Amino acid sequence: MTAVPTHCPYCALQCAMWLHPDDGVAVEPRDFPTNRGGLCQKGWAAAELLDPGVRLATPLMRDRRDAPLRPVTWDAALDRIAAEVRRIRDAHGPDAVAVFGGGGLTNEKAYLLGKFARVALGTANIDYNGRFCMSSAAAAAGRAFGIDRGLPFPLTDVGTAGTVMLVGANPAETMPPLAGHLPRPGDGRALVVADPRSTPTARAATVHLQPAPGTDLALAYGLLHLVIARGLADHAYIAARTTGFEEARRVAAGYWPARVERITGVPASALETAVELLAAGRSRGGTVVLTGRGAEQHSKGTDTVHAFINLALALGLPGRPGCGFGSLTGQGNGQGGREHGQKADQLPGYRRIDDPGARRHVARVWGVDEADLPGPGLPARELLNALGTPGGPRALLVFGSNPVVSAPDAGRVQRRLAALDFLAVTDLVRSETAEHADVVLPAAQWAEEDGTMTNLEGRVLLRRRAVDPPPGVRTDLEIVSALARRLGHRDGFPADPAEVFAELRRASAGGVADYSGVRPDRLAAGEPVYWPCPAGGPPEGTPRLFADRFRTPDGRARFVAAEHRPAAEETDETFPCHLTTGRILAQYQSGAQTRRSPTLREAAPEPYVEMHPLLAERLGCADGDPVRVVSRRGTARAPARLTERIRLDTVFMPFHWAGEQRANLVTNSAPDPVSGMPEFKVCAVRLERDRP
């Protein structure tokens, strides 16, 4: 068989690869602008998950909650789901049934799942785990620019920029091929990194700003203060292309370097050096500012991202050749997954569900009465917290997500799942969430089905089927289609991804995320296509946004001012340390897949609590000793890992493990009031030696 060109199943970089199905599905890197012929450890090991021995191969069902899951036929499993949905919907109304999706689903799956929720189920309650990933950056970009695309320019622009600033991002571990685009020592370019930890990315930086967790908002205004005070702002750009600068200037005036040093712990001299590099980069190939989850997963994440947008606007970066502001989308289809209907407040094409014109357009495409479409539902955090409560959802259908591990305050989420009348999970593997389900359905995965993805640049990509699913395994589209038929919708829910994509293009036409001009033959040929790509426009769509105007009504970008405020939970005598969480190189998200990969499990077999040696000395523990991390919500357990590369007042845990090793047993679910993003990245904890 010939090699099949496709893309990695993990992060939003969507590295290109060849699959060789005649060689046990061997993986080979493929040259592509994002990965330039490279793969990270996860990409190399991706085919290990195709092994039937590590995945679900048959539907499972239990007759009562205290009974074990047992194999059943597809008809039995699907009939049970449909019967439970009808029973609960008839007794409690359509919003008593909820759907929770995933940022790894293809565009076609995300689209059909959103349609299924609103048409076949009639529920307002659908959201997805991307709410825990990109929602603050999306809200800030929408507010500032009128459009949310992770990178509004191709990633290759980062590789030519004279200065790149990363805020709360560690691509050397989370997106290694992307790190190849960053400035390197000796190449004449500059890298500025803001991160509480001295990560591999930070150690390669020209200057590392190491703020206390939860103080990035003050850091951004400190940098803006210096840009204005040093006469480095681009006032011609500000006057011609923005609004709201005076209020942002007024707020920034209160963040002089000495004050910012007291709030953040970052020396004033480091702030000054960073500003000099950011300004100088404009004439040395460009300056790019990028945020990641470290800045965004906070109860003030939207304001924090917007503060760094303010900095970029003051420097005159967005829309300028070689310059710009962007956010590093994390999940494989975190971008496309939120564009086409999985979010509680959106319809396909990034349309607002409460916009009458949007409702009319989508209703026509779907062949339904617009009055029958539900309104906005509960965002992810509120949805999970409402499960099984009076007036809340009583049934939940989960597709490609593992909230028992990935959601904040995970112990509470686990209790809410147990309070449901019915839970069904569709996944590749028997995840921790699936263990709580009444019905579990086995789904095909990335190399076993066709579909499109949208990477962090807004580039639409084609994933190709290279091998058949194991006998007894169906695709998500086939599952949704079969459930819709059982609920009385024999038409409108095709299982063919090409049919679904054709309808998606029609539904998105005229929306912010317009895919109507995306030609399947162009995707099949590997030619670049970036949304928005309206029908009749350039076949490549829009690689670079904002060259002439922003997507706001007046075409101007918005400065939005907000004062720094503390984290939702501050340290005290009982909980004296900050906990921050994140990803590591050899694991991914909830770990449901990567922990089943022999290669990745060997590379990273267990979690750890990273702490400063002086903190460990106070605790009386040595490297490798078991410790407990205790917050107001719960306790997580892992071995200590000592390093001087972290602040004395901060500990770090990766969040990829289950059981008592779940970092999210401890994290705070306090939400951002704009985006609904929980505060994953900072909470107050104490450390205890974990004695038997």
In order along the chain (692 residues), what is the average pLDDT of each group of 10 residues?
91 95 90 95 94 92 94 98 98 98 95 98 96 91 95 96 97 95 94 96 97 97 98 98 98 98 98 98 97 95 97 97 92 87 93 96 97 96 96 97 95 97 97 97 96 96 95 96 97 97 98 97 96 96 96 97 96 96 94 95 96 96 96 97 94 96 97 94 96 69
571 lies in some domain: no
Instruction: Give the residue from 471, 533, 470, 474 showing the smallest Cα distance to 501.
Output: 533
- Strand ranges in 80-156 using DSSP code E only, listed in sequence order: 97-101, 126-128
CA dist., res. 456 & res. 464, Å (int): 19
547 lies in some domain: no
The total domain count for the chain is: 3
CATH number at residue 301: 3.40.228.10
Strand partners, 242: 557
Same domain for 380 and 428, yes or no, is yes
Tokens 């500000």: give the residue: 238
Same domain for 248 and 306, yes or no, is yes
pLDDT for res 1: 59
Among the candidates 524, 555, 588, a domain finishes at 524
Same domain for 588 and 461, yes or no, is no
CA dist., res. 516 & res. 148, Å (int): 18
Same domain for 108 and 161, yes or no, is no
Domain span holding position 390: 60-133+333-524
669 lies in some domain: yes
CA dist., res. 350 & res. 514, Å (int): 8
CATH number at residue 685: 2.40.40.20
Stretch (H or E) spanning 249: helix 245-252
Three-state SS for 213? coil
Query: Position 428: which residue type?
Result: L
Same domain for 208 and 153, yes or no, is yes
Same domain for 98 and 149, yes or no, is no
563 lies in some domain: no
Same domain for 462 and 606, yes or no, is no
Among the candidates 332, 358, 379, a domain finishes at 332
Same domain for 472 and 346, yes or no, is yes
Same domain for 259 and 323, yes or no, is yes
Q: What angle do CA 675, 681, 682 make, to 5 degrees?
A: 110
pLDDT for res 308: 98
pLDDT for res 657: 97
pLDDT for res 53: 87
Same domain for 289 and 207, yes or no, is yes
Q: C-alpha distances in angstroms, 634 versus 150, 311, 631?
A: 34, 38, 6
CA dist., res. 170 & res. 13, Å (int): 14
- Strand ranges in 529-649 using DSSP code E only, listed in sequence order: 557-558, 577-582, 609-611, 626-630, 635-642
Same domain for 259 and 408, yes or no, is no
CATH number at residue 494: 3.40.50.740
Contact 412, 385 (CB under 8 A): yes
Among the candidates 308, 332, 356, a domain finishes at 332
DSSP class per residue in 380-434: HHHHHHHTTSTTS-SEEEEES--HHHHSSSHHHHHHHHHT-SEEEEEESS--TTG
Contact 502, 477 (CB under 8 A): no
27 lies in some domain: no
* List of residues 6+ apart from 613 with CB closer than 8 A: 642, 643, 644
126 lies in some domain: yes
Can you say how many angstroms the Cα of residue 391 is from the centroid of all Cα atoms in its chain?
29
17 lies in some domain: no
555 lies in some domain: no
Same domain for 383 and 514, yes or no, is yes
Stretch (H or E) spanning 508: helix 497-508
Q: C-alpha distances in angstroms, 101 versus 396, 626, 640?
A: 10, 35, 34
Residue 131 CB-density burial (10 A; 0-12 exposed, 13-18 middle, 19+ buried)? buried
